[in-house]
Amino acid sequence: MKKIIVFNHISMDGYFVGANGDSSWAHKNTDDPEYATWVAGNAGGDADFLFGRITYEQMAGYWPTPMAKQQMPEVADAMNKRRKLVFSKTMSKADWNNTLLLKGGLVQEVKKIKSEAGPDILIFGSGTIISQLAAENLIDTYMMVMSPVVLGKGRTMFEGLKEKKDLKLTGSRAFKNGKVLLNFEPA
- Using pLDDT thresholds of 50, 70 and 90, give the confidence band for residue 136: very high
Question: CA 148 to CA 28: how far, in whole Å?
Answer: 10
Contact 130, 139 (CB under 8 A): yes
Contact 167, 187 (CB under 8 A): yes
Residue-wise pLDDT for 43-102, tens only, equals 667 899 999 999 999 999 999 999 999 988 888 898 999 999 999 999 999 999 999 999
| Mean pLDDT value across the chain | 91
The verdict on pTM exceeding 0.85 is: yes
φ/ψ of residue 111, rounded to 5: -60, -45
Question: CA 13 to CA 125: how far, in whole Å?
Answer: 16
Contact 94, 100 (CB under 8 A): yes
Instruction: Please check the confidence at residue 127 and state whether its pLDDT lies above 80.
Output: yes
H/E run at residue 133 = helix 127-135
| Residue 46: predicted pLDDT | 84
Contact 8, 126 (CB under 8 A): no
Q: Where are the domains of the chain?
A: 4-181
DSSP 8-state code for residue 21: S
CA pseudo-torsion sign 146, 152, 155, 160: positive
Of residues 122, 101, 114, the one with CA closest to residue 46? 122
Task: Tell me yes or no: is domain 4-181 CATH 3.40.430.10.
Answer: yes
- Using pLDDT thresholds of 50, 70 and 90, give the confidence band for residue 14: very high
Instruction: Please check the confidence at residue 39 and state whether its pLDDT lies above 90.
Output: no
R_g (Cα) of the chain, nearest Å: 16
Residue-wise pLDDT for 150-182, tens only, equals 999 999 999 989 999 999 999 999 999 999 999
